[in-house]
Structure 1
Amino acid sequence: MSVADQAAGLRQWAGTQHAPSPRHGEDVDDARACRTLVVVGLPGLSPYPTQRVLDLLDHWAAQGRRWVGSSAQWRVAPVEITSPDLPVLFAQQSRWALWVDSDPNAFRRAFRQLTQLKDREGPTRLLAVHSPDMPRKGLLENLQQAAWSCLGIELLVMVK
């Protein structure tokens, strides 16, 4: 996948990420806090890994990525790849992400998660969420290329 294709895909995806306008009598903050990001691959289902995703969203917002807004506008929903609720979530949720760690087994784990999503007819476009200091070159780029060439899954990687 070329850089131009990735950028166009990311712009298209970001263009769909608008919060609805508040309804009459509804608090503006409540209306904006309705974006759900379903994340697979988080290490454990405790609040701390969820906070890592929210911190990354804030990091991207601070870098000028307007589509993020504030992390307060997002609800991060961690889900296990083995959850029996996945088919329902596939139908209901449009924003999906894959957590990518930086340890020596990270590629294997992340690619396995993507393979299982493919086997379960899951989303074909996911946002890579990871530590803010992880470089694009190396693990993220290799995972992105393998996801596309082997599985037909577009893994969106934010460039530093």
Structure 2
Amino acid sequence: MSAQDQAAGLRKWADLQRQQRQTQSVESDPTADVFAAEPLTPTTDLLTVPPVAASKQTAAPPPVPQKPLIVIGLPSSGDQQVAKVKGRLAQWSVLGRRWAGDPDDWDIHIVKADAANLGQLKERFPRWALWINSDADAFAQMYRSLRQVQENGGPRQLLALHEPNLPRRGLLDNLREAASYYLDIELLLLAR
């Protein structure tokens, strides 16, 4: 697959995520678009708005619901593994990846690739990722995990989570191509 095809796939995934966020925000507050269309100006509009409505606008915004992210490929679940994933999301956020947002906005779930309920989880959770190690046996381990995901009815699209200095050439490209060719799984690799 060429670099252009990869970029197109990533744009498609990002657009889908953006559309889902917009749909969720409209479904959760159908009046959001009405109020967003006409912002108040501090000098004139506050004079015409009743004091109760003006005080509501200055109140703290409600907490943002966490976005679930299911991660496979990690050896165990626990706070240390969740912190590892959030650390990677924070690095992407610093690099300007708006979709990564604040790492605390994510509800990280570590799941084994051979979990019997993978198909049910796929129906409930749209965001999935594969944690890719960089040790000598990484390709075999990650390919095995992807094969188990396929066999257990898991998702067909996963975001590749990996250490920031892991080059795309070699392990990442080989794993992406093998997943696509042999397992019909799209592994999304993000450029730095």
Q: Normalising by the residue count of structure 2, what TM-score does the alignment of the two structures yield?
A: 0.75
Measure the CA separation in 2 of the matches of 1:71 and 1:84.
28
Query: What is the one-letter code of the residue matched to 2:4?
Result: A
1:25-64 CA distances to partner (integer Å, 9 max, x unpaired)? Answer: 9x74632x42111001112112111111111111111111
| 1:57 matched residue in structure 2 | 89
Counterparts in 2 of 1:44-123, with a 5 A limit? 44-123=76-155
Change (3 A) 1:29 1:55: farther
Question: Hey, what does 1:30 align to over in structure 2?
Answer: 63
1:3 aligns with 2:36: no
Which range moves more in the overlay, 80-89 or 90-99?
Answer: 80-89
Q: SS of the residue aligned with 1:118?
A: helix
Unpaired runs of 5+ in structure 1? none
* Misfit runs of 4+, over 6 Å: none
Separation in 2, partners of 1:135, 1:52 = 19
Q: Secondary structure at the match of 1:17?
A: helix
Structure 1 CA distance for aligned equivalents of residues 12 and 71 of structure 2: 20
Unaligned runs of 5+ in 2: 32-55
Q: In the aligned structure 2, how far is the partner of 1:29 from the partner of 1:10?
A: 31
Percent identical residues = 40
Structure 2 CA distance for aligned equivalents of residues 83 and 152 of structure 1:
19
Structure 1 residues 57 and 101: CA distance shift in structure 2, 3 A: same
- Aligned equivalents of 1:29 and 1:141: distance in 2? 41
CA distance in 1, matches of 2:6, 2:62: 32
Alignment: residue pair count: 158
Q: Alpha-carbon deviations, 1:129-159, whole Å to 9, x = none?
A: 1112211111111111111111111100111
Superposed CA deviations along residues 43-88 of structure 1, whole A, max 9, x for unmatched, are 2112111111111111111111111111121111110122232121
Residues 60, 82 of structure 1: alpha-carbon distance in 2 compared, 3 angstrom cutoff: same
Secondary structure of 2:99 counterpart: coil
Distance 1:29 1:47 in 2: 26
Query: Which AA in structure 1 matches 2:11?
Result: R
Q: Secondary structure at the match of 1:43?
A: coil
Q: CA RMSD in A?
A: 1.9
Paired residue for 2:50?
Answer: none
